Amino acid sequence: MAFVTQAGIDVQVKTDLPSTVHYLPDGEEAKQLRIIEDLCSAFAQEGLTRQDLVVGIGGGVVTDVAGFAASVYHRGIQVMHVPTTLLGQIDAAIGGKTGVNLPEGKNLVGAFWQPSAVLCDTDVLASLPEREFRSGMGELAKYHFLGGEGLDALALDQRVAACIQIKADIVAADEREGAGRALLNYGHTLAHALEIEGRFDLRHGEAVAVGIQYAALVAHAMGRIDEVKLAEHGRVLDVYELPRTLPEGCDVDQVMALFARDKKAIKGLTFVLDGPNGLEVVPGVPEKVLRNVLTQM
């Protein structure tokens, strides 16, 4: 059995089974192919077989990396996730997406590898720094527009459970993102562009929040939603005290270039946008609209 975590997480293993603990570098630095190679080499040296289990304990970075390493080692061994962040519990650990980054973009190398189990203990969230917790709210905000109206009226554990159920239902219907699962990327096209540009002090959930506001403004500019629905986006983001504007110094031309690299960009510039029937994947979004809204933000 191999435990994968990050520095700062106090992992205490109590088992009679042979086990090791592997510590990843902090943050996105861990999401590199060389880290996957290092982990798999360590697994081999420790004699892990297809009968063994990898346990990822930590946030979204840990579950992404541990899951990907498990998916390729011996062509796939079991993985269990114990997410310790809000973002991990409601999003990253659920659904089987794993991956690492390339210089050209986020999560461009990875696999769909479903965990054997996911253990979410909301009590551990009390230990998170305030900003890390709020970052998770950026992912939680998107669920308001995926059938989770009224989430902000629920207790935290009920919110987490509701988000997990929404995502699990979507993934069960479309495990490999052929259709409906892409809706879970609401707000992520701009978010990933801002993260790739890398000059801004933005956590992932904060970038997603800005991306949700941007997507709402684009949908409004295209006549897909009215002022009331646009205002509802702002209300949800404000409830969770999330940013709604582009970071200062954002290069519109650079962001537009990064949009073209997005994994959803199959038929022109493609976005998840709100509309009369709810969220939809919309191909061929006019470049002029995207650029104008960026400039206005």
Domains of the chain: residue spans and CATH: 2-126 (3.40.50.1970), 130-296 (1.20.1090.10)
Q: Give the pLDDT score at 40.
A: 98
Q: Give the pLDDT score at 12.
A: 86
DSSP 8-state symbol, 22: E
The C-alpha torsion from 189 through 229 and 282 to 288, rounded to 10°, is: -70
3-state secondary structure of 82: strand
φ, ψ for residue 52, nearest 5 deg: -90, 175
DSSP 8-state symbol, 278: S
Provide the pairing of β-strand 97-102 with 78-83.
Answer: unpaired
Low-confidence ranges of the chain (pLDDT < 50): none
DSSP 8-state symbol, 8: T
Cα–Cα distance for residue pair 272/261, rounded to 1 Å: 15
Q: Give the pLDDT score at 57.
A: 97
Q: Give the pLDDT score at 39.
A: 98
Q: Give the pLDDT score at 160.
A: 97
Instruction: Give pLDDT tens digits for 148-176.
Output: 888 989 999 999 999 999 999 999 999 98
Q: Give the pLDDT score at 11.
A: 85
H-type alpha helices, 19-129: 33-46, 60-72, 86-87
User: Which of these, 183, 190, 218, lies nearest to 204 by C-alpha position?
Assistant: 190
Helix axes 287-296 and 204-221, enclosed angle (nearest 10) = 120
Helix axes 252-259 and 287-296, enclosed angle (nearest 10) = 140
Cα–Cα separations (whole angstroms), residue 15 to 1, 2, 3, 12, 212: 10, 12, 12, 10, 43
Cα–Cα distance for residue pair 265/284, rounded to 1 Å: 9
